[in-house]
Amino acid sequence: MTQQHPYGALTPDTVINAVESLGLYSDFRQYPLNSYENRVYQVGIEDSTPLIVKFYRPGRWTPAQIQEEHDVLAMLDQQGIAVAAPMTFDGKTLFEYNNFHFSVTQKLTGMPLEAGDLDQLYAIGELVGHLHHQTQTWTTPKRPLIEPKVRTLTASKLVENCPFLPKTLVARYRQLAQQLIEKMTITEQRCPTNRPRFIHGDCHRSNLLNCEGTLTLLDFDDCRMGLAIQDLWLHVSEADTKQQQLSELIEGYENYHPFDTRELDLIDVFMAERHIAYTAWIAERWQDPAFPAIFPHFKGEDFWLQHLNDLDDILKQWGQWR
């Protein structure tokens, strides 16, 4: 909670100078885009289309880990999968300026996806299936699998020690976290699955763009080894129709790649992990000025009551994905 803000030196001049260090000429227009973990800007280029410039959060990934992501994107682009791949300058895609690592991509225009649209869910399934088929033999040695239970244990301790968690709720939080971790352990033991494989890692609706009918995958910042279901379940938006939505996703997916239905039982595991890890992420990043501005409610009791209710709902609905 006391970490120094990593973007304090990322001034508007630094953004422009970083872009121009690549031999580009900016028209000095820059517009910040929604990105909490990294900093992303649309930067105007003289007599040309604006470009998207991404500054990676210092200390999160090593240069080798970022380069592994770039290499994956280059291969996907070559294989005809619609992704936002970084541009190459003098044979490189990753650059450094004033101790910030950054990359540049072309600006994409398109429409966001609609939650729960069955036709779009089918198309999303096809895109993810195509991605998984083309990458079925790939590994990412620098971004290995992280067991969800391990991540949840670490995150739950961070949340438990968060000063904004009301002391009157600590015992209830600790009990819910322990119950969820026990459920995760039992479910993982009961559900053997295929080997880990390359995944996008954060494949939610906001990381997809409909570019004139072509669904394009954005932001591979969390790509790593994992399970196929991790790239599918986040697109289920309505609890009342979750089986129907999953059915559309899987039907589209299997046009390109077989799906191991045993992984459906692990959705609860990944859901519990994501809820706890998300809350821990906000706590861990609180010294970044962007976070108090975006999540002012994080300090209020209502946020924590809702978080505990969400965890309780996961427990009550565990095992109902088939």
What residue ranges do the domains of the chain occupy? 12-106, 118-316
Q: Which CATH class is domain 12-106?
A: alpha beta
pLDDT 10s digits, 240-270: 889 999 999 999 999 999 999 999 999 999 9
- Indicate which residue of 13, 27, 119, 219 is catalytic: 219
Residues paired with 26 in a beta bridge: 45
| Annotation says 302 is catalytic | no
Note the helical H segments in the chain: 12-20, 63-78, 118-134, 148-160, 170-190, 242-253, 267-284, 290-294, 301-316
Judged against a pLDDT cut of 50, whether residue 1 lies above it is answered with no
Average the pLDDT over 96-122 and give the result.
94
Look at residue 190 in the predicted model and tell me its pLDDT. 86
Check the CA dihedral 149-155-160-164 and report its sign. Answer: negative
How far is Cα 217 from Cα 214, in angstroms, rounded to an integer?
A: 10
One fold for 12-106 and 118-316: no
Judged against a pLDDT cut of 50, whether residue 88 lies above it is answered with yes
| Annotation says 119 is catalytic | no
Residue 207 is assigned to a ligand binding site? yes
Look at residue 145 in the predicted model and tell me its pLDDT. 85
Residues 6+ apart with CB under 8 A from 282: 291, 295, 298
Domain 118-316, CATH homologous superfamily name and number: Aminoglycoside phosphotransferase (APH), C-terminal lobe (3.90.1200.10)
Residues 6+ apart with CB under 8 A from 86: 70, 73, 74, 93, 94, 103, 104, 105
Cα separation values, 194 from 103, 150, 191, 198, Å = 34, 19, 10, 12
DSSP type of residue 85: P
pLDDT 10s digits, 216-249: 999 999 999 999 999 999 999 877 889 999 999 9
Residue 265 is assigned to a ligand binding site? no
Average the pLDDT over 125-147 and give the result.
92
The answer to whether 286 and 265 are in contact (CB under 8 A) is no
pLDDT band per the 50, 70, 90 thresholds, residue 194: low
Average the pLDDT over 106-111 and give the result.
93
Percent of residues, the chain, with pLDDT higher than 70: 98
SS3 content of the chain, % helix, strand, coil (to 5): 50, 15, 35
- What predicted TM-score, i.e. pTM, was given to this entire model? 0.92
- Indicate which residue of 71, 202, 302, 312 is catalytic: 202
Q: How many CA atoms lie within 13 A of 321 on its CB side?
A: 22
